[in-house]
Structure 1
Amino acid sequence: MKSRCIALDADGVLLDYNQAYAQAWQRAFGVRPEERDPSAYWAMDRWGVKRLEGEQLDRLRAAFDESFWSHLPAMAGAIGACQQLDTAGFELVCVSAIHPRYEAARLRNLQQLGFPIARVIATSHGDGSRSPKAAALERLMPLAFVDDYLPYLRGLPPRIHAALIHRQKRGSPNTGPELSLAHSHHEDLAAFATWWMKEGHEQYD
């Protein structure tokens, strides 16, 4: 039987890391930063924060703990999109570039929000010529993989449909010749789910 699996990135696709970043900053320093640019791709550009070093940087990093990774809010429309795909019989797996020690926290976060996801695969980060998620996706061999970070589409098996989410555009890495790595482009996960259900899956089922 063919796989009915769809692999989904977490931050920026399922979960709103940028909103959670402001919460982490508030936990570390007691003040929620002002929003500077809601169209910014990176959290540090979105919020009115400064680059830190030394003790202050250590304090911020300490806020990205088990509790932080257990309580990120959902991206708008993401839960409904996943429920739509799940109802249609697709198995959803989260493949996330997060440290493996937070894998269980990420799964707990998703399930508490109501995502129909029973498995998280943590791959850690990487910025090389091949996506740090590629090896996990080769083993999983889903029909499709959805991410919002173009470099993480590098080196994927060509049989996997690579879908790219284009969220906040300012400072986005989702530009240039490597856009050809994506087989389809979508505004958010809800747009992907609608397209996949109408026509996308027919190429892979």
Structure 2
Amino acid sequence: MSIKPIIALDADGVLLDYGLAYASVWDRAFGQRPVERDKDAYFPFHRWAVEFLDGDRLAALRTCMDEQFWSCVPPLERAVDACHRLHDAGYELVCVSALAQQFEAARLKNLRDAGFPIERVIATGVAAGARSPKADAIEQLGPVVFVDDFQPYFRGIAPSVHRALICRGPNGSPNVGPELSQIHSLHANLWEFSEWVRVHGSLLPSRAV
């Protein structure tokens, strides 16, 4: 177990701009980059002027979401700076991503190439059910903070772990409803979260649990 307190960070929507990458993979799959429809949309298929996919076209898009794709998703604005700020403050940063395990190494390469001070990725996959697919990994990791941009992924996370929600993309966001009362802090982006830690970090446990 780390001697430093750990902050567990989601990737897509917290560290990396999956929404922007979605336009690129669409272009790769179908030979045409979509027009942006709503920059404030939460889901990429609402952000871009694209049609609903099924059958062969959906399979074609998923085929392009390969190791190459997952190794080159661009970082979100100021996310790298925010991570260096947290790292320099004495935290170990671990990425916990609901990604297929076969792409774990590609995700780590992506983060390293982008300049994130992150040396470990835990790919949990996406599991059906009421409990977050990340809950077991968070329990084993024992972070002082878990940062995600998808409210349902906090289900099953121990109350002792500070739950920080990144509230991006307000249009069509799933981050609404009574479960918000279980979130400890809300932030517009990771840089804002790093500022919260700078001011309020003394309220967090000093060691991983």
Structure 1 pair 167–10 and aligned structure 2 pair: CA distance change class (3 A): same
| SS of equivalent residue, structure 2 residue 170 | coil
TM-score, scaled relative to structure 1: 0.97
For residue 183 of structure 2, what is the aligned residue in structure 1?
A: 182
Counterpart of 1:110, as a letter, is L
Q: Residues 154 and 181 of structure 1 are in contact (CA less than 8 Å); yes or no, is this contact kept in structure 2?
A: no
- Which 10-residue stretch deviates more, 124-133 or 106-115? 124-133
Displacement of 1:54 after TM fit? Answer: 1.9
For residue 64 of structure 1, what is the aligned residue in structure 2?
A: 65
Counterpart of 1:153, as a letter, is F
Q: Residues 127 and 151 of structure 1 are in contact (CA less than 8 Å); yes or no, is this contact kept in structure 2?
A: no
CA distance in 1: counterparts of 2:195 and 2:189, whole angstroms = 10
1:101-112 pair list within 5 angstroms? 101-112=102-113
| SS of equivalent residue, structure 1 residue 146 | strand
Root-mean-square deviation (CA), in Å? 1.2
1:18-97 pair list within 5 angstroms? 18-97=19-98
CA distance in 2: counterparts of 1:129 and 1:2, whole angstroms = 32
CA distance in 1: counterparts of 2:125 and 2:184, whole angstroms = 24
Work out the number of aligned pairs and report it: 205
CA distance in 1: counterparts of 2:168 and 2:202, whole angstroms = 23
1:127-138 pair list within 5 angstroms? 127-138=128-139
| SS of equivalent residue, structure 1 residue 121 | strand
CA distance in 2: counterparts of 1:50 and 1:201, whole angstroms = 48
CA distance in 1: counterparts of 2:129 and 2:101, whole angstroms = 19
For residue 196 of structure 1, what is the aligned residue in structure 2?
A: 197
CA distance in 2: counterparts of 1:167 and 1:204, whole angstroms = 27
Q: Residues 150 and 174 of structure 1 are in contact (CA less than 8 Å); yes or no, is this contact kept in structure 2?
A: yes
| SS of equivalent residue, structure 1 residue 93 | strand
CA distance in 2: counterparts of 1:166 and 1:127, whole angstroms = 23
- Structure 1 unaligned spans of 5+: none
Cα offsets for 1:145-177 (capped at 9, x unmatched): 000000000110111101000001000000000
Displacement of 1:3 after TM fit? Answer: 4.7
Counterpart of 1:101, as a letter, is Q
CA distance in 1: counterparts of 2:204 and 2:58, whole angstroms = 47
CA distance in 1: counterparts of 2:71 and 2:93, whole angstroms = 19
Q: Residues 125 and 133 of structure 2 are in contact (CA less than 8 Å); yes or no, is this contact kept in structure 1?
A: yes
- Structure 2 unaligned spans of 5+: none
1:161-176 pair list within 5 angstroms? 161-176=162-177
For residue 125 of structure 1, what is the aligned residue in structure 2?
A: 126
For residue 141 of structure 1, what is the aligned residue in structure 2?
A: 142
CA distance in 2: counterparts of 1:11 and 1:116, whole angstroms = 16
For residue 114 of structure 1, what is the aligned residue in structure 2?
A: 115
Cα offsets for 1:36-90 (capped at 9, x unmatched): 0111000000000001222211111111000000000001110000000111111
Sequence identity percentage:
54
TM-score, scaled relative to structure 2: 0.95
